Amino acid sequence: MRTVTLGKTGITVNKNGFGALPIQRISEEEAVKLLRKAHDNGIDFYDTARAYTDSEEKLGAAFEGMRDKIYIASKTMAEDAQGFWKDLETTLRNLKTDYLDIYQFHNPESCPKPGDGSGLYEAMLQAREEGKVRFIGITNHRLAVAEEAIESGLYDTLQFPFSYLSSDKELALVEGCQKADMGFIAMKALSGGLITNSAAIYAYMLGYDNVLPIWGIQRERELDEFLSYQDKEPVLDEALRKVIAADREELLGEFCRGCGYCMPCPVGIEINNCARMSLMIRRAPSDAQLTEEMQAKMKQIEECLHCGQCSKKCPFGLDTPALLEKNYKDYKEILAGKEY
Ligand code: SF4
Ligand code: SF4
């Protein structure tokens, strides 16, 4: 089984990491079954967050009494020390543990540092001294914050979106982490569902020794797919290279990654799904995109105020209102019978 070492942390784990965001959407019973199956088959790194509703509690239920057999990373979106401690205590209680292997600042707008006035980094250091946190990490969607985190020397790990759709600047982050002896945890390896060939992305990830992908897993068949690659690694052969080239051609550039950082929208538009409808409808099973519920969500685009709040918050610099309009126009044409 292939392993990855997360830089100076020395944490060495299965190349298949488990992203525990999607288990929010299933029952506790289903989540426990899925998580235990993952563990029984060698997955030993689990990434969750205080912001993922009951994900931490489900992990706690699955792994009570097995703490020494797994590595857990969680995250806080706190903006001050008081919020930090409240989050950390809740997280530890939910996970039924007294320490986290990695505690990450969750997508902050700027990189927390000692003396920046927020008290966040100082609180993190204290938590580490108290043994509640072993290593300090940061997650982000903004290149500038990620670059600053690497240069600062203050972090043990960086979590950033990474896939074969990543740009050269994102690839430079992987190299930067290697040079700084930091662990690189890859989120959104399937680009929010737009990459559908898991063998292609798995084979691509094997080319990066220091990258730990955390696959967002909700269904047993998704887990089985990733587990199958442990015994039989996909090879980046001509066929998979063609898949990657075709995806790059179709998806590079101005597309919505579905991250949701632009939300909430004042008129309630579900931007993270609606702004990439044209791609989802063509790349994923289309029935789910054509339900009455989804049609109502798309119709809400008509209410857009063009206030620009969303584009200001989009870490990929997208013109979100224009993208919504474009997707809505295409969607209406599809509903009217256009071939797609
Ligand atoms: S521009 Fe439209 S979609 Fe964006 S936040 Fe404003 S109302 Fe919502
Ligand atoms: S518009 Fe930008 S911020 Fe909003 S979901 Fe898409 S990629 Fe994320």
Q: How far is the CA of 97 from the centre of ligand 2 (A)?
A: 34
Q: Which residue has the higher pLDDT, 234 or 316?
A: 234
51 C-beta neighbours (distance < 10 Å), count: 16
Q: What's the pLDDT tens digit per position in 66-120?
A: 999 999 999 999 999 999 999 999 999 999 999 999 999 999 989 999 999 999 9
Q: What's the pLDDT tens digit per position in 110-148?
A: 999 999 999 999 999 999 999 999 999 999 988 899 999
Provide the sign of the torsion angle of the four alpha carbons 31, 33, 38, 39, taken in this order. positive
The per-residue pLDDT of the chain, averaged, comes to 95
State the pLDDT confidence band at 62, using cuts at 50, 70 and 90: very high
Using DSSP, state whether 333 is helix, strand or coil: helix
> What domains, with CATH codes, occur in the chain?
3-245 (3.20.20.100), 271-335 (no CATH)
Ligand 2 neighbour 5 (Cβ under 6 A):
no
Between CA 96 and CA 80 the distance in angstroms is: 24
Distance, C-alpha 24 to centroid of its chain:
14
Instruction: Give the nearest ligand 2 atom to 259 CA.
Output: 8
Q: How far is the CA of 328 from the centre of ligand 1 (A)?
A: 14
Residue type, 130: E
Between CA 44 and CA 330 the distance in angstroms is: 43
Instruction: Give the nearest ligand 1 atom to 309 CA.
Output: 5
111 in Cβ contact with 138 (< 8 Å):
yes
Pairing outcome for strands 71-76 and 12-14:
unpaired
Report residue 238 as tokens.
């001509």
Pairing outcome for strands 12-14 and 3-5:
antiparallel
Q: Would you state the pLDDT for residue 238?
A: 96
Q: What's the pLDDT tens digit per position in 165-187?
A: 888 888 999 999 999 999 999 99
Q: What's the pLDDT tens digit per position in 190-212?
A: 987 788 899 999 999 999 999 99
What is the maximum alpha-carbon separation in the chain? 63
Ligand 2 neighbour 319 (Cβ under 6 A):
no
Q: How far is the CA of 306 from the centre of ligand 1 (A)?
A: 5
Minimum mean pLDDT range among 47-56, 206-215, 259-268 = 259-268
Ligand 2 neighbour 180 (Cβ under 6 A):
no
